Amino acid sequence: MIGIKVMKTLSVVFLLGILAILFAGCMRSAGFRKDQDGSSYGDSPSYYGGKKTPSQRAETIGQPKKRVLVLSFWNDTPVKSGDYGNYAADELRRALFGTQRMILPTDVKSDLNTSDMIQGDKVRVSQLIREGRRLGVGVMIIGRISKIVFRQKGDDVGVFRQKQSFGAVDIEIKLFDITAGREIIATSKSGEASTSAMAFGDQTNLDTPEYRAELVRLSIRNAVGPLVGDVVRAVEKMAWEGRIAKLTGNKLYINAGRASGLVGGDILKVMTLGDDVYDPSSGAFLGRSQGQLKGTLEVVDFIGPDGAVCEIHTGGNFKEGDPVQLY
């Protein structure tokens, strides 16, 4: 009798356990389905990529193009036979120009190169920012070739000898937002190139300085290519800024127009120049503070390849050199 009662008690407990599990599953299923179909995030659809307003969609089209200056790279290697610093900078300029996502001004040149901006293991940020402002660019890029390697292997005996040559380089770049006065990205890439040839006896052009230089240049090109995407993404995240170039009565001329991507009817806000901020302890340059709003302008016409005519919308007391930004 005791055994039968125990079995009945266990059966009841088991049945109650199953019912509890089923009940809990039903309670969870509604919340689970709500979570899976995304309805629990209905209060903030834009955060998870929901529908955007027309103004938000327009903003995603992009800022006007920034003016970018690439300084000649610093060849920080013992291999000084080729003008590799200028070659690396030219390759980056060419690749960035090909994206059509920024302006590489041909009328802006600097007497300084990357090595002039380096002191010890640090960048002279304040000097670099001053140079960028003097030249009227929004972005400056400096670069360093940190390593150049050349190797060769092949047969040492026989009339016909198979030889293979390898070249490799390491390149670093730093990108600075001149408007904000700060470093945006620092990245590095490597590139390599190789070739092989059949030599007759000891005669082969794989040993000449000219051939080595050509192999190094090809390695530099292969290292620069992967840097382009990093630069484009960083530049397009930056806020665009132009300058008032001239004032004539109620009309103002700014140093950006169709080539930069402005369109008629754009509203621009005019700002005061911010203040440079320095660390009180070390004296290091920290960046520039945001200026104050002076008023707004409307783009009404264009001049030259990349200039615009604006009319005063609100405010006043504008001056040549005042920064302008999209409203």
Q: How confident is the model over 36-51, as pLDDT tens digits? A: 344 333 333 333 344 5
pTM of the entire predicted model: 0.73
Q: What is the pLDDT at residue 28?
A: 35
Q: What is the pLDDT at residue 55?
A: 52
Q: What is the pLDDT at residue 192?
A: 94
207, 237, 267: which is the final residue of a domain?
Answer: 237
Rounded CA gap, 157 and 133, in Å? 61
Whether 233 and 218 map to the same domain: the answer is yes
Tens digits of residue pLDDT in 200-238:
455 555 567 888 889 999 999 999 999 999 999 999 989
Q: Which SS3 state, helix, strand or coil, does residue 46 take?
A: helix
Structure tokens at 56: 């938000």
Whether 225 and 254 map to the same domain: the answer is no
The mean pLDDT values, 10 residues at a time, for the chain of 327 residues are 48 48 40 38 37 52 85 94 92 95 89 92 90 92 95 64 84 94 94 74 64 91 96 92 90 92 93 79 72 91 93 91 90
Q: What CATH number has the domain bearing residue 181?
A: 3.40.50.10610
Smallest CA-to-CA distance from 247 within 179, 321, 315, 305 is with 321
Q: What is the pLDDT at residue 46?
A: 36
| Cα atoms found within 13 Å of the Cα of residue 11, Cβ hemisphere only | 6
Task: State the total domains in the chain.
Answer: 3
61, 83, 105: which is the final residue of a domain?
Answer: 61
**Burial group, residue 262, by CB count within 10 angstroms (0-12, 13-18, 19+):** buried
Q: What is the pLDDT at residue 38?
A: 40
Whether 318 and 171 map to the same domain: the answer is no
Structural domain containing residue 278: 242-326
Whether 169 and 204 map to the same domain: the answer is yes
Q: What is the pLDDT at residue 22?
A: 42
Q: Which SS3 state, helix, strand or coil, does residue 23 take?
A: helix
Structure tokens at 160: 């016909």
Contacts of 97 (CB under 8 A, 6+ apart): 104
C-beta of residue 145 within 8 angstroms of C-beta of residue 74: yes
Rounded CA gap, 278 and 191, in Å? 38
Rounded CA gap, 268 and 318, in Å? 13
What are the residues facing 164 on neighbouring strands?
153, 196
Q: What is the pLDDT at residue 19?
A: 46
Q: What CATH number has the domain bearing residue 261?
A: 2.40.10.410
Question: Cα dihedral sign for 296, 183, 83, 213?
Answer: negative
Q: What is the pLDDT at residue 30?
A: 40
